[in-house]
Amino acid sequence: MKFVDEALIDVSAGHGGAGCVSFRREKFIPFGGPNGGDGGRGGSVWALADQNINTLIDYRYTRRHEAKNGEAGRGSDQFGAAGPDIELRMPVGTIISDADTGEVMVELLEHGQRALIAKGGDGGFGNMHFKTSTNRSPRQKTPGWDGQAFKIKLELRVLADVGLLGMPNAGKSTLIAAISNARPKIADYPFTTLHPNLGVVRVGPERSFVVADVPGLIEGASEGAGLGHRFLRHLQRTRLLLHMVDAAPFDEGVDPVVQARAIVAELKKYDPKLHAKPRWLVFNKLDMVPEAEREARVKDYVRRLRWKGPVFSISALTRAGLQPLIEKIHNHVAEQQRVAPLPDLRFDTPIAGDD
């Protein structure tokens, strides 16, 4: 299924039905009086968060959503039937905003959350409402009120605890496949990831966190180069960013330090708040570096980057160093969620550069 994270649609609630002018006319009842009923309420448009949906593709091709109008009132004190409401099922994490003003109407953050987008119009009054002691045969009625109509923008931001950030071919897809249940496309060429992937990392019974992998960034992404800038919004709700660096690039002329600095610069241009999120440095593909050179190479990269935060050395392909990384991530996420973290475990595999 194609991944779509933006859509522009028109929603229109139903109009209320008109009231009725009617009089009771029965044999032996000469003064029946008014009995015109009210019109029915128009149908409303609701949004429903559904965790079984992960894309907005349905709204890319179906752009108009209209609820039915309420029925007009009838005689014999009969009110018109209300128009049925319609529900638009959307992925959890969808932001609904007014396309004309840009105002955010609602954010769907939990499964089953239901929000009113457009309210149906109320029904009009029948002539039974206008009867008074001086006006015993009223012929007044009111039309139904119009339902609300909006042009709305749908924007999906996936809900994840950890986001993977880095240049194309840095091994982000390999990492998320190694530690979670996600199965993204993996190949030995850049730009294999064309849309975000989510994976659940199981640490223990009822202990887990969600990782998001987005397409790799390149220099100039904030101005529209490449694909990554389109999906950076999916990292805005994460609690932690893992900045992955290819420690053994295929091209010997490529400097991982220069690439890492370019990613940080693009992140700051796109959103300063995203740039300010906690970010850990992860050097990947250490299996392709001679064992005698690994520690020195990582320390050289850290020194040149002037990096003060946590640093990890891993090989997503051979799974070396993944267990300590997973435990550290879980404890960080648990601390932010105010959940009791896992005990400090001891591992035989050292974490290069981690203080």
Mean pLDDT over all residues of the chain?
A: 80
Task: Work out the angle at residue 22's Cα, subtended by the Cα atoms of residues 19 and 25, and round it to the nearest 5 degrees.
Answer: 160
| Residue 72: per-residue pLDDT | 92
Nearest Cα residue to 229 out of 37, 5, 1, 2: 5
Same domain, 151 and 166: no
| HEC string for 255-322 | CHHHHHHHHHHHHHHHCHHHHCCCEEEEEECHHHCCHHHHHHHHHHHHHHHCCCCCEEECECCCCECH
- Least confident residue range of 120-134, 187-201, 270-284, 288-302: 187-201
- Identify residue 292 by its one-letter amino acid code: A
Domain that holds residue 175: 162-336
Same domain, 82 and 212: no
Number of domains in the chain: 2
- Looking at the domain assignment, is residue 346 inside a domain? no
pLDDT class of 223 with cuts at 50, 70, 90: low
Among 156, 176, 205, the domain boundary falls at: 156
CB 271 within 8 A of CB 300: no
Q: What is the mean pLDDT of residues 320-341?
A: 77
Same domain, 174 and 316: yes
Looking at the DSSP assignment, which residues form a beta bridge with residue 204? 207
- Least confident residue range of 54-68, 151-165, 175-189, 337-351: 337-351
* CATH code for position 243: 3.40.50.300
- Model confidence at 186: pLDDT above 70: no
Same domain, 332 and 294: yes
- Which pair of tokens denotes residue 14? 């139903």
Same domain, 209 and 99: no
Phi, psi of 277 (to 5 degrees): -65, 155
CB 223 within 8 A of CB 262: no
pLDDT class of 226 with cuts at 50, 70, 90: very low
Same domain, 19 and 46: yes
pLDDT class of 342 with cuts at 50, 70, 90: very low
| Residue 220: per-residue pLDDT | 52
Q: What pLDDT digit, counting tens, does each position of 101-132 carry?
A: 888 898 888 888 999 999 999 999 998 888 88
Please report which helix (H) or strand (E) contains residue 336, including its range.
helix 322-336
- Model confidence at 10: pLDDT above 90: yes
Same domain, 225 and 323: yes
